[in-house]
Structure 1
Amino acid sequence: MTSGNRFSFDTSWGTQHGDDGTVFRLWAPGAGHVDLVVGRQGGENDFLAMEKDAAGWWRITTDQVAVGRGYGFRVDGGMVVPDPAARAQMGDVHGLSKLVDPRSYAWKTADWAGRPWEEVVFYELHTGTFTEAGTFEAMIERLDYLRDLGITAVELMPVAQFGGRRGWGYDGVLLYCPHEVYGGVDGLKRLVDAAHERGLMVFLDVVYNHFGPDGNYIGSYAPEFFHEEIHTPWGAAIAYDEAPVREFMIDNALYWLEEYRIDGLRLDAIDSIKDTTDTPLVKELATRVRAAFPDRHVHLTTEDDRNITWHVARDEAGQPTLVSGEWNDDFHHCAHVIATHEYDNYYADYVGHSVEQMAKCLATGFVFQGEYSEHRGREVGENSAHLPPTAFVNFVQNHDQIGNRAFGDRLTDLGSRRAVECLQAILLLSPQIPLMFMGEEFGDTHPFSFFTDFDGELGTAVREGRRNEFAKFGAFQDEEARQLIPDPNEESTFHNSRVDWTMPERPTYRRRLELTRQLLAKRQSAIVPLLKGIGGNGGTWFASDASKAFVVAWELAGGTVLHLFANLDDEPWPIPDTVAKSDLTCGTLVHAYPKGADEHLTSGILPGTSVVFRLESQNLIAGPVS
């Protein structure tokens, strides 16, 4: 329901306001009796019997619950559980839910229609550690900084209510409820409103492959919600062949986009969504999203280690038909191996070929396009060259690739400064959609560790499980070494993961921040105008056999070609005849790092640890390369 500057979405689960009161609903097909619990301040709760229909839905319409008061459900006379689709909680995930009127917030930016996909520059952040206060409200104070930096899209790690006060958010259990610690319903709406006032988009990371371990009561009264016989890394699979279950998640996506005016969603680990139906959940969800918001720029991104492509297909005009962009781990892994020379675990697939793989990845999408992966022991991926580069979201750091390290090390702390700054230029000026993690813009060296807020047996299991995960890494095969890994449940692990906003005041970090600002300004002025509607099969590449150097060319809009010359070796690279030397300085210089690196191209030499981007109308690479 939309009225002027007040927005609400009619979900199939949870509550719905009407003229006769509020409708309360719960799907519990196996339950014999369900009561609506009406919370009373300073007194005993009241219980109102609900009625069941043939599809297993229990309903009641009543005016006995005032807005701002608590409610819940009592199933078969047993424990009282919160509403799984609650918009807010009275307290933590174990208590009563809070009745919210979503129309109470008056939007200042009700006419905001978003921004086109090609303009996206992601800044991923964790609400609890981005500021000292760790709230949506405190984040507003940093929006001008992000806008002036050249960021166009703030991407929030999951904010759905989870057990405890601190955590990454990927173990949420109340998926419609913004975490109260962060500022709840109105706090998130004020943040989105403030971002839109500044021309910034807001994306939200959502998790549809599992629920967290603390506070998920659904299985106790609706075991049909899960397939116990189908396993995921987090337990039983969600039963997407049940219509109410499917609607729970699709409604959730539409709810965030409509009621909170969110500009886009990142769908976490869709390869772990075990959908047994003929229509994948992601396909139906994306189709419904596209249909629901024809007058807004609304975007979806996905994480999926299968390297599949059907979901990021483009139409004849080059526009996404379902998902706008896929997170490209291949690019990150190449960049990380080049910068650090690490080879443990999944990095083993990129050792010895990382430069060639990066060139291929930049030109054609994925590294693994059907090739055999030694780490995974199988063939991975499918051809992606037919997709435009804007079908991929690239990054050299993100929450996973930092936080899933034993000590939460950032790349700035692991690689040489010049190598990292070359990779930063490649990330921000290549035609793929770039993503940076909070603090990366100024080279933050503080860790971002994995943290939770569990205690008892669950806390012990999480701590020991975390440490045992690293037993397969050479540095942690010794048990004593693993004991040094920070305890996720210690409050200090959380506090140490906060962004240090004093760092940009120091010369070294201020210099990196200015470099980031310059790169993003160049992207906006020189690259973004050439990205709209570009097609696939437009990338070519050449990589050196003897040096960590490569050349990539992309055909962008209007026949303009963007060229990247990169040498990530310490020694100069004599550019071979495969690259037409007579054209090395044609066109317009976009960026040279370090300054003056382009001047050496006239003699056919690319200096050590350098990057040059040029725009011109003819392909510099002589003949087909692969």
Structure 2
Amino acid sequence: MPLPTPETWSHGAHLLDSGLTRFALWAPDAFAVSVELGDGQSLPMLSQDDGWFVINTPCPPGTPYRYLIDGELLVPDPASRAQQGDVHGPSLVVDPNTYPWQFPDWQGRPWHEAVIHELHVGVLGGFAAVEKHLGRLADLGVTAIELMPIAQFPGDRNWGYDGVLPYAPQSSYGTPEQLKHLIDCAHGHGLMVILDVVYNHFGPDGNYLGRYAKGFFRHDQTTPWGDAIDFRRPQVRDFFIDNALMWLLEYRFDGLRFDAVHAIEDPGFLKQMAARIRQQVDSPRHVWLNLENELNQAHLLEEGFDAQWNDDGHNALHVLLTGETEAYYSDFAEQPTAKLARCLSEGFIYQGERNRHGEPRGEPSAHLPPNAFVLFLQNHDQIGNRAFGERLTRLCSPEALRAATTLLLLSPMTPLLFMGDESGAEEPFLFFTSHHGELAEAVREGRRAEFKHFAVFADAEQRERIPDPNAETTFSASRPSVAADDAPWPTLYRTLLSLRHQHLTEHLSGSRSLGAEVLASGALYARWQLNDGSVLRIDLNLSDSPVSTRLPHPRHRLFDSRLAPADSPVDSQPPFSALVSLTPAGDDA
């Protein structure tokens, strides 16, 4: 059978209509490559133009295989669809079309309905175990779950950002079929499923690309994880774009969250990837593309991407809730109330202003809709990057947290909660890995060194108290408790999300900010006009003193965050409270 032209090749092992399997490896620095099958066969691959090695051969699904580079190095397929164990072991040939979808007509949900619940699959026990939480989350009012990265990483415990085989679901979480069953089951509950993907670096253990495909990396540019990935090369671009399409088309994920795209040096890659995705996903289907981007590049949210995680909003709220101002919170230490007001009215806080390093950051964002910004009180980073992984339940008063949660769930911005938030969990979420040997020691010491600039950890003995990322107890301690449905925190979340879906959701598309005003330190109000002309107003007071203000008429009151409101004030805002009002169009009272 003749080999295809290079532009039709894709990375990895693919079953062909002829019954053969095509193995394709981009290895421009190799002289010879063979595919080594589990039955002992060694099949030389044919060298092609531009560094490709390709062979078409009979090979059924489930066959283990590895590539032998120059007769001396056995490596897994960098585009492996599944691993027989760890990242160093054999890859497996996978048939992507065998899973019997139970909800094949699922088209997703529009973005304005998004209420996102971020979770870690491993902490919850694997793909099958996550399914047990779907009904509870749907009943709560969540409309999407977001999985932290699941690409195959070394060991069996990891946040997922050390992945080295981006096409292969982590084997300790379950099989590709179990992952599809989880997604299928979520769709049955009306839940979208988003996947966090890491296209800015590979993990430190199990990535062999530098041996036979040095062109995958730029040696003239570095990232916090090493040499930058070279997105100028079409083979590299296709490797990641095809990966995104695999998750969306084969696994039927409903969206992707792209990790730390500020570390992707090629500005054209993101736009090309978004365009390819939009071209290949049928138009009736809703697919969400979200960014994490410290550069606050607002223009990307008009060029194929739906929204960005708004760290600015979180950081301002965190300063107001906890009083913490060290490290990156120092950028929000001055006038945090005014900064939060800017977030609520314009999206980003930093829109070109200089940060603590003296560097300009961000682009103007006031023209974007409120739901282009994903707001959160906590996420995996903001909890897990703390030395002891403390949640807000341990850092601020319950009354203040109730008020901030009210703002989160009833503002027109897209709300994201982290697993455990809805239960008021007090268990930490710690940074964990399962590295071994010298790498484990380097990670342990590197983790502790991260905190030496914090006053409380200036002493080396104090840093020794920071949990060892490689200890299994660090992982097990990060499992959040699940509160009873009628407990206070689930009741609050259910009440707020019911109000959101009943009164706000259908009117959020096309909503716009009417501005925000600071009333006092810790106190402000923000207003938005919804698409039916009604006006949503949220009055927030995170201080311990009442604040004089003129509130909307009590008949327009939608929610009061106080546990036992004794009155309906109209001329002052109680301490540690959020008051939400919805005034119909034409009613100025």
Partner of 2:4: none
State the alpha-carbon separation in 1 of the partners of residues 153 and 178 from structure 2: 17
State the alpha-carbon separation in 2 of the partners of residues 620 and 300 from structure 1: 37
How many pairs align? 580
Once the two structures are TM-superposed, the CA of residue 13 in structure 1 deviates from its matched residue by 0.5
Tell me, yes or no, if the aligned pair for 2:21 and 2:60 is still in contact at 8 Å.
no
The answer to whether structure 1 residue 292 and structure 2 residue 287 are counterparts is no
Partner of 1:572: 546
- Superposed counterparts of 1:479-494, under 5 Å: 479-494=460-475
Residue from 324, 331, 340 that aligns with 2:322? 340
Q: Give secondary structure in 2 for the equivalent of 1:612.
A: strand
Partner of 1:3: none
Residue from 411, 424, 428 that aligns with 1:430? 411
State the alpha-carbon separation in 2 of the partners of residues 618 and 356 from structure 1: 28
Partner of 1:527: 504
Once the two structures are TM-superposed, the CA of residue 618 in structure 1 deviates from its matched residue by 6.3
Letter in 2 for 1:354: P
Once the two structures are TM-superposed, the CA of residue 619 in structure 1 deviates from its matched residue by 9.8
The 1:454/1:402 distance shift into structure 2, 3 A limit, reads: same
Letter in 1 for 2:374: V
The answer to whether structure 1 residue 331 and structure 2 residue 313 are counterparts is yes
The 1:620/1:335 distance shift into structure 2, 3 A limit, reads: farther
Tell me, yes or no, if the aligned pair for 1:11 and 1:255 is still in contact at 8 Å.
no
Tell me, yes or no, if the aligned pair for 1:598 and 1:612 is still in contact at 8 Å.
no
Tell me, yes or no, if the aligned pair for 2:151 and 2:169 is still in contact at 8 Å.
yes
Q: Give secondary structure in 1 for the equivalent of 2:378.
A: coil
The 1:621/1:303 distance shift into structure 2, 3 A limit, reads: farther
Q: Give secondary structure in 2 for the equivalent of 1:284.
A: helix
Once the two structures are TM-superposed, the CA of residue 31 in structure 1 deviates from its matched residue by 1.5
Residue from 526, 540, 552 that aligns with 1:584? 552
State the alpha-carbon separation in 1 of the partners of residues 9 and 132 from structure 2: 32
Partner of 1:578: none
Partner of 2:212: 221
State the alpha-carbon separation in 2 of the partners of residues 371 and 229 from structure 1: 28
Letter in 1 for 2:468: D
Q: Deviations over 1:82-129 (max 9, x none)?
A: 111111011210011011111111111111000000001000000011
Letter in 1 for 2:361: V
State the alpha-carbon separation in 2 of the partners of residues 619 and 364 from structure 1: 25
- Superposed counterparts of 1:301-316, under 5 Å: 301-313=290-302
Letter in 2 for 1:482: R
Partner of 1:280: 268
State the alpha-carbon separation in 1 of the partners of residues 521 and 156 from structure 2: 49
Once the two structures are TM-superposed, the CA of residue 596 in structure 1 deviates from its matched residue by 6.9
State the alpha-carbon separation in 2 of the partners of residues 233 and 96 from structure 1: 29
Letter in 2 for 1:461: A
Once the two structures are TM-superposed, the CA of residue 584 in structure 1 deviates from its matched residue by 2.0
Residue from 11, 14, 17 that aligns with 1:16? 14
Q: Deviations over 1:45-76 (max 9, x none)?
A: 2211111111211100000x331120111111
**What percentage of aligned pairs have identical amino acids?**
46
Partner of 1:477: 458
Residue from 434, 448, 464 that aligns with 1:467? 448
Tell me, yes or no, if the aligned pair for 1:561 and 1:619 is still in contact at 8 Å.
no
Residue from 235, 256, 270 that aligns with 2:226? 235
Tell me, yes or no, if the aligned pair for 2:423 and 2:481 is still in contact at 8 Å.
no
Taking structure 1 as the reference length, the TM-score comes to 0.90
The 1:485/1:324 distance shift into structure 2, 3 A limit, reads: same
Tell me, yes or no, if the aligned pair for 2:290 and 2:307 is still in contact at 8 Å.
yes
The answer to whether structure 1 residue 613 and structure 2 residue 588 are counterparts is no
Partner of 1:37: 36
- Superposed counterparts of 1:420-459, under 5 Å: 420-459=401-440
Q: Structure 1 unaligned runs (5+)?
A: 1-9, 314-320, 576-580
Letter in 1 for 2:146: E
Partner of 1:398: 379
Once the two structures are TM-superposed, the CA of residue 378 in structure 1 deviates from its matched residue by 1.7
Tell me, yes or no, if the aligned pair for 1:587 and 1:615 is still in contact at 8 Å.
no
Tell me, yes or no, if the aligned pair for 2:29 and 2:211 is still in contact at 8 Å.
no
- Superposed counterparts of 1:126-137, under 5 Å: 126-130=120-124, 134-137=125-128
Taking structure 2 as the reference length, the TM-score comes to 0.96
State the alpha-carbon separation in 1 of the partners of residues 566 and 588 from structure 2: 17
Tell me, yes or no, if the aligned pair for 1:29 and 1:55 is still in contact at 8 Å.
yes
Partner of 2:136: 145
- Bigger mean CA deviation after superposition, 282-291 or 116-125: 282-291
Partner of 2:396: 415
Once the two structures are TM-superposed, the CA of residue 504 in structure 1 deviates from its matched residue by 3.5
The 1:587/1:389 distance shift into structure 2, 3 A limit, reads: farther
State the alpha-carbon separation in 2 of the partners of residues 595 and 484 from structure 1: 37
Tell me, yes or no, if the aligned pair for 2:262 and 2:294 is still in contact at 8 Å.
yes
State the alpha-carbon separation in 2 of the partners of residues 186 and 197 from structure 1: 16
- Superposed counterparts of 1:56-205, under 5 Å: 56-63=51-58, 65-130=59-124, 134-205=125-196
The 1:598/1:332 distance shift into structure 2, 3 A limit, reads: farther
Q: Give secondary structure in 1 for the equivalent of 2:443.
A: helix
State the alpha-carbon separation in 1 of the partners of residues 404 and 561 from structure 2: 10
Once the two structures are TM-superposed, the CA of residue 567 in structure 1 deviates from its matched residue by 1.2
State the alpha-carbon separation in 1 of the partners of residues 437 and 306 from structure 2: 42
- Bigger mean CA deviation after superposition, 360-369 or 162-171: 360-369
Q: Deviations over 1:547-598 (max 9, x none)?
A: 32101111121222111111111111111xxxxx4x7217622211216759
The 1:155/1:11 distance shift into structure 2, 3 A limit, reads: farther
Once the two structures are TM-superposed, the CA of residue 377 in structure 1 deviates from its matched residue by 2.0
Letter in 2 for 1:572: P
Tell me, yes or no, if the aligned pair for 2:532 and 2:585 is still in contact at 8 Å.
no
Letter in 2 for 1:397: Q
State the alpha-carbon separation in 2 of the partners of residues 225 and 531 from structure 1: 42
Letter in 2 for 1:430: S
- Superposed counterparts of 1:363-378, under 5 Å: 363-374=345-356, 376-378=357-359
